[in-house]
Structure 1
Amino acid sequence: MTVSPLRVWAPSADTVVVEAARPGDQPTAHRMTPADGGWWEWRPEGDGPLDYAFRLDGGEARPDPRSPWQPHGVHGPSRTFDASAFEWTDAGWAGPRGGGGVLGGVVYELHIGTFTAAGTLDAAVEHLSHLVDLGVDLVELMPVGAFGGTHGWGYDGVQPFAVQDAYGGPPALQRFVDACHAAGLGVCLDVVYNHLGPTGNYLAEFGPYFSTEHETPWGRAVNLSGDDSHEVRRWVIDNALRWFRDFHVDALRLDAVHALRDASGRHLLAELSDETAALAHELGRPLDLVAESDLNDAVMVTPTSRGGLGMTAQWDDDIHHALHVALTGETSGYYTDFAGGTRAWPEGGALSVLAKTLTEVFLHDGRMSTFRGRTWGRPVDPEAVSGHRFLAYLQTHDQVGNRATGDRISASITPGQQAIGAAIYLLSPYTAMLFMGEEWRASTPFQFFTSFEEDDLGEAVRSGRRREFAAHGWSADEVPDPQDPRTRDASVLRWDELPEHPHAEMLAFYRRLIEIRRTEPEIASGDLSALQVRFDEASRWFVMRRGSIAVVANFGSGGQPVPLHGEAWETLVGWGEHRTETGGIHLEGHALAVVRTL
């Protein structure tokens, strides 16, 4: 490997020294040469990887803000990485779904550290066949950027160009993506650009990476429109393009984009969208950007040519919340409005809210949000926007892991209720996303865990977590200790339970739903205007029709008939006892049938 010049942006420094050595050798100091625009350079001699760190004006040695690898942890020196050395086998890869990209596909969100007991990218490869058999199109990895400690969710990363060494480092990510493509699976990488974590965060020593005007709930906001923000914006965009170009990633999921505070003439997301489109044209395959947005505004997925921000798709938490409340009856916090009977939706109860979100994308579309204390969102025109632009789901890492004990929805509802929720979102006009283990009703929780090496930081996370849930009635000993290694270990999927009852039955049901989604054109469509919903709030039956195919569900616990207007039909898949009756289907409690009318 020929080592390229080492470069670092430090516009306010008077001197920059790099300490560099081949791995295992003692580092030597070299004065760097100033270059244009606040950059500094030094060209090493010889070949092979190099460990290096920078000293600004005689300060402490710090890792590279664009470090590709942190094998010694987030406080240690960086290591160079030649991304071009890997021998890819995916030359014929046209992208997920044969070039269709993320839109309309089935996404599978997973956390590398708990997907297997080993918690590595290489170990995850061993289970790709399970995802293929399930019918998954894209694997979405929770963040892999280097963070403090060995175990964590990844949203407190401090080196977004690096790959967490405990996961196998950057070589392992290349092997993982190549293996996914060989299996016909795309890869979506979750990236965090709105803030950095609390330990190993040295960016402010190098330059104005953080805003002096904006904060996020997780720390200082990234400087996207203040002084010298042009290089900070390049730091973000270059990072995104690097995953596409050097690691052959197919899509990026952008964390909490509403926290990207940008007062410039052109929003960072629009700029990123256009540069991503140009790279996709160059590479000859689709590259997608999926936003996590709290704004409830279709401007996020409106093309930049029409004044939008140009994201391919965005998460839709309103559908999740509506499903969750209809299935569980929970009404606390942000779930309040989704039960109905509030200023946001005085017209009816939970099933009417579910119907509203399924047909019109958002509940809060200019309506009052009780949780936020203000009106929120904007309406979506179902004639103008495909449902594929929005991701629907029953569970995500947030909606499981941010609960006090990390309990999955399956811990509080029956298998039949889960089957109802799965059938509705998997056969809806939306792009579908599963959270790892959901498909077999995994018995393991997904809890919040960290492994910070600093005692004071670990205690702050522990006590903060307990304070948060104490306000909701949880005692300290009921909330898992994030710093206890057993909390992570309890969250590791148990692959040995797949063939057991009731996991095998649920897995077979999910496979059949996804097969219907893949093979039935009426279900594969993203046409929101063709979606029809009927329900009875009092009896708690619900029918979602898409052309000739209908999901007929009994949310209630007692058996009852559900009218189908006297039509004849065939059953494509069902859960629980159901039988034909004159004018409809009789469903036992928490049962459903997916039928095609004849």
Structure 2
Amino acid sequence: MQFEVWAPQAGRVTLQCDGVTRALERDPQRPGWWRGDAEAADGSRYGFALDGGPVLPDPRSRRQPDGPDGLSAVVDHGRHLWRAEWAGRPLPGAVLYELHVGTYTPEGTLDAAAGRLEHLAQLGITHVELMPLCPFPGRHGWGYDGVSPWAVHEPYGGPEALKRFVDRAHALGLGVVLDVVHNHLGPSGNHLPAFGPYFTDRHHTPWGVAVNLDAPGSDEVRAYLVESALAWLRDYRIDGLRLDAVHALVDTRARHFLEELSEAVDALAAETGRPLFLIAESDRNDPRVITPRAQGGLGVHAQWNDDFHHALHTATTGESQGYYADFARDPLAALAKTLTGGYFHDGTYSSFRGRRHGRPLDRTRVAAHRLLGYAQTHDQIGNRAQGDRLSALVSPGLLACAATLTLTAPFTPMLFMGEEWAAGTPWQYFTDHTDPELAEAVRRGRRREFAAHGWKEEDVPDPQDPATRDRSCLDWSEPEREPHARVLAWYRTLIALRHAQPDLSAPDLAATRVAHDRDRRWLAFRRGDIRVAVNLGPEPAGIPLGTRPARVLASWEPVDAPGGDGVLRVPGESSVVLLQE
């Protein structure tokens, strides 16, 4: 078997494989690369030593059986027997479900999560979006401090468990999306700097020095990240990737890294005959991210739309702190703007940033499905001091309104695990750092952050306390009890409508028409022949829909179809979906 490693600054590189050490040779065809042959098979343990230093794991390791600091293990992907026939599932028309493997079940493994996938198929979900799976020190964490971006966290089950998960999902008709982090690696267990210029101090991110996308040596770093992304799509049959915080991918080169990555993914899709896609997390409100490359954009296929979330959150909760401030001034107007224009901040002044932010989205060039809409995400819940979900903040009726807006809006909808039954469990920030100094720094930093906003230290959960993770696990007995069962039935109804009514997945964002009343707190919008009416106020409201006959497709509380006056009478904190004849 041939081993190779990029180590451009090394004068000597040795391979240790299954206890045998041998020197590698420079690759004459590729500057900075070393290569050599050794007897090895699936499971063989190996690592590289540079200039007589310690044996380190492979930067391209496919498996870390003993954690990020241990030896790598050979993975023979050809040994896995795939069982499900799978032609892929595209993003248009999708309903996504964000899932954290470590808290989706008490066991916190991929196999245990796979055992709960039938619930999602019955709910009407089309794609499961897994939070990051790369190895990190300890057992439990969010995954955004991962290292070894080609490997699967061993406590989750390692590479074979991910393949079993994907196979089970595909057998149920579910696509799989994986959250990947290219903007930084974790602070512990990251051995890349020993091998080469993977990072640069030319730029800085909230997590420290930036990944090297434009300094000397960046050709190989970019290829490293692109090949890692393609490996998930090829070797694990993943259907799409969610790209974490792409605004932190600092790249001054003429051809942006995202453009290079999207081109490579599109090429792999053409080669495999499966629809593959990228979803960016970006807070720039820059439509170039999701504009096709042929039209001068970066070619990413979709992005999270936090503006819709912020407008919806302020409208249902009344919160106005931090980045909610601009949306809270008139939440229904903010909702109306996002429903018709995608972005709220499209060049407008952002008081949170102290400057103008974003630029307008060309609704004639960008299909609505390229924006993801959601009422809750891991970020928006877990970055609250106590990890409280929307269900802890508002009534079941307002939860139903939020669900209605999310699942009938023009955007590709996404749910966060447990949202569909108004889970009573929080989802808190938890870590399991094995470095005592790092663990204490994270604990202090978390509490200091919220103390600045008036929280007492003792009221902010300790990220390192195992109970913090345990509290965040879903309670699978809840869906059988009220009020959870009623909320779950409402989500199933809305998702079924979205799949059944073509107008609800129409791509034309400009075709959406919205009306609202700030004082009486109702909002209604039209998508083709579908009418959606939401009353966020506590009192019944008469909402004018026009005199064209309409029938009720679904309602949270019992309502009658509009009479001859065209007015729909909606109870307080309730919502209705209608079809006009």
Specify the TM-score bucket, using the shorter chain as the normaliser: over 0.9
Q: Report the residue type matching 2:56 in the other structure.
A: R
Per the alignment, residue 595 of structure 1 pairs with 578
Equivalences for residues 95-494 of structure 1 within 5 A: 95-96=88-89, 101-340=90-329, 349-494=330-475
Distance in 2, matches of 1:350 and 1:521, equals: 28
Distance in 1, matches of 2:196 and 2:441, equals: 28
Distance 1:534 1:428, change over 3 A: same
Per the alignment, residue 71 of structure 1 pairs with 65
Q: Give SS of 1:529's match.
A: helix
Out of 538, 541, 561, the position equivalent to 1:560 is 541
Q: Do structure 1's residue 18 and structure 2's residue 15 form an aligned pair?
A: yes
Deviates more, 1:585-594 or 1:535-544: 585-594
Query: What's the CA shift string for 1:140-194, capped at 9, x where partnerless?
Result: 0000011111100100001111100011001111111111111101000000000
Distance in 2, matches of 1:89 and 1:305, equals: 37
Distance in 2, matches of 1:580 and 1:528, equals: 27
Q: Report the residue type matching 1:271 in the other structure.
A: E
Distance in 1, matches of 2:40 and 2:448, equals: 54
Distance in 1, matches of 2:458 and 2:341, equals: 42
Q: Give SS of 2:31's match.
A: helix
Distance in 1, matches of 2:246 and 2:477, equals: 38
Per the alignment, residue 38 of structure 1 pairs with 32
Residues 458, 483 of structure 1: 8 Å contact kept: yes
Q: Give SS of 1:504's match.
A: helix
Out of 73, 78, 83, the position equivalent to 1:84 is 78
Residues 578, 592 of structure 1: 8 Å contact kept: no
Distance in 1, matches of 2:556 and 2:500, equals: 20
Distance in 2, matches of 1:207 and 1:496, equals: 50
Report the alpha carbon displacement of residue 597 of structure 1 after superposing the two structures with TM. 2.2
Distance in 1, matches of 2:360 and 2:483, equals: 40
Per the alignment, residue 517 of structure 1 pairs with 498
Query: What's the CA shift string for 1:532-571, capped at 9, x where partnerless?
Result: 1111101111111112211111111122322223443211
Distance in 1, matches of 2:362 and 2:34, equals: 50
Report the alpha carbon displacement of residue 578 of structure 1 after superposing the two structures with TM. 3.2
Residues 550, 561 of structure 2: 8 Å contact kept: no
Superposition TM-score, scaled by structure 2 size:
0.97
Distance in 2, matches of 1:274 and 1:60, equals: 38
Q: Give SS of 1:213's match.
A: strand
Residues 241, 277 of structure 2: 8 Å contact kept: yes
Distance in 2, matches of 1:450 and 1:526, equals: 40
Distance in 2, matches of 1:113 and 1:297, equals: 33
Residues 104, 526 of structure 1: 8 Å contact kept: no
Of all paired residues, the percent bearing the same amino acid is 52
Distance in 1, matches of 2:530 and 2:360, equals: 27
Q: Report the residue type matching 1:318 in the other structure.
A: D
Q: Report the residue type matching 2:20 in the other structure.
A: T
Per the alignment, residue 586 of structure 1 pairs with 569
Per the alignment, residue 5 of structure 2 pairs with 8
Q: How many residues align?
A: 577
Report the alpha carbon displacement of residue 294 of structure 1 after superposing the two structures with TM. 1.1
Q: Report the residue type matching 2:315 in the other structure.
A: A
Per the alignment, residue 346 of structure 1 pairs with none
Distance in 2, matches of 1:590 and 1:428, equals: 18
Report the alpha carbon displacement of residue 457 of structure 1 after superposing the two structures with TM. 0.6
Report the alpha carbon displacement of residue 577 of structure 1 after superposing the two structures with TM. 4.5
Query: What's the CA shift string for 1:457-495, capped at 9, x where partnerless?
Result: 100010000000011111111111000011001101111
Superposition TM-score, scaled by structure 1 size:
0.95
Distance in 2, matches of 1:43 and 1:581, equals: 76
Q: Give SS of 1:279's match.
A: helix
Query: What's the CA shift string for 1:323-353, capped at 9, x where partnerless?
Result: 000000000000011013xxxxxxxx11111
Deviates more, 1:513-522 or 1:573-582: 573-582
Out of 56, 61, 77, the position equivalent to 1:62 is 56
Distance in 1, matches of 2:528 and 2:559, equals: 22
Residues 284, 358 of structure 2: 8 Å contact kept: yes
Q: Give SS of 1:178's match.
A: helix
Q: Report the residue type matching 2:92 in the other structure.
A: L
Report the alpha carbon displacement of residue 383 of structure 1 after superposing the two structures with TM. 2.5
Report the alpha carbon displacement of residue 50 of structure 1 after superposing the two structures with TM. 1.1
Q: Report the residue type matching 1:5 in the other structure.
A: Q
Q: Report the residue type matching 2:579 in the other structure.
A: R
Distance in 2, matches of 1:376 and 1:581, equals: 41
Unmatched 5+ stretches in structure 2: none
Report the alpha carbon displacement of residue 255 of structure 1 after superposing the two structures with TM. 0.5
Moved runs in structure 1, 4+ residues, more than 6 A?
none
